[in-house]
Structure 1
Amino acid sequence: MNTSPLTPEDESLLERVIETNERTVDENFFGGAHIVAAGVQTDDGSVYEGVSLPASIGRASVCAEPTAVGSAIADGYRHDELRTCVAVAYPMADHEATEVRVVPPCGPCRELLADYNEDMRVVVPVGGENRVVAAIDLLPTRTW
């Protein structure tokens, strides 16, 4: 997988999403609601955020990345104007992590990000550091 280091703009996006995560997490709702926050930055530098939305029926739960993408689209941005995405997770008591950390998108979110912009830059943890990869590179065997 071809990766690159984070830019100062990526670092700024990451810090903003971390602040959102820390502000919105609710450890007492659904056993830990909104533990993931995501941000999508557009070509003009605008940032749209979203949080994970747990539900009593698992299929109704929504990841943070789609809520961030949907927010940008609802505000008038086109799919090809979505430039960068990052998601972070809050360290719950039953997690090994002790601080907010970057998390890679799950399988369905990888599909969604690649559907909306194959070239979207996605921040992921690689070998102990945060790196940037193209959304399509997160799906190496995608055939459609």
Structure 2
Amino acid sequence: MTTQNHSVDRELVEAAARVARTRCRGDNHTMAAAGRGRDGRIVTAVNAYHFTGGPCAELVLVGAAAAQGIYELETIVAVGDRDRGVVPPCGRCRQVLLDYFPGLEVIVGGGEDVRAVPIAELLPVSYVWADHQVDAQ
């Protein structure tokens, strides 16, 4: 993995942390996400935990962004409730984010090691669903 140093969108991290502090309550909502659209707008979301596999905050954010007319995200971050800080996306979210936004930057790490990395670096040698769709047409 060849991680490059990308500047961290601190405003985005704080937006997610604020939502985690104020909106995550109980076991149903334990993670918050914030994403920045290409137009600069910030959209936030929380997960919808359910034993059947409810969506992670990052996936809820993809839908919430589209509902607000934001179809291109530049950067995304997830933050855990109870001051857990930045949490990297799970494997399913990594795949979905790569397919929707191949140029996306994802904020990962903790403490002094918070950094932004390209989504492709979080899912090396990945299957690209969009490539499959081109072949199917």
TM more than 0.5: yes
Counterpart in the other structure of 1:94 = none
Q: Provide the identity percentage.
A: 34
- 1:64-79 alignment runs, 5 A limit: 64-78=57-71
Q: Is residue 51–residue 67 contact of structure 1 (8 Å, CA) maintained in 2?
A: yes
Number of residues of Structure 1 aligned to a counterpart in Structure 2:
127
- 1:29-68 alignment runs, 5 A limit: 32-55=27-50, 57-59=51-53, 61-68=54-61
Residue segments in structure 2 that go unaligned for 5+ positions in a row: 129-137
- 1:106-125 alignment runs, 5 A limit: 106-125=90-109
Counterpart in the other structure of 2:77 = 86
Task: Give the secondary structure class of the aligned counterpart of 1:49.
Answer: strand
Counterpart in the other structure of 2:132 = none
Deviations 1:52-79 (A, max 9, x none): 1112x323x110001111111122222x
- Tell me: CA distance 1:132–1:138, structure 2 relative to 1, closer, same or farther (3 Å): same
- What is the CA RMSD across the aligned residues, in angstroms? 1.8
Q: Hey, which bits of structure 1, 4+ residues long, moved more than 4 A?
A: none
Q: Give the residue type in structure 2 aligned to 1:90.
A: D
Are 2:46 and 1:16 aligned? no
Counterpart in the other structure of 1:95 = none
TM-score (norm 2): 0.84
Deviations 1:80-124 (A, max 9, x none): x21000000123xxxxxxx33100000000001101111101001
- Tell me: CA distance 1:15–1:76, structure 2 relative to 1, closer, same or farther (3 Å): same
TM-score (norm 1): 0.80
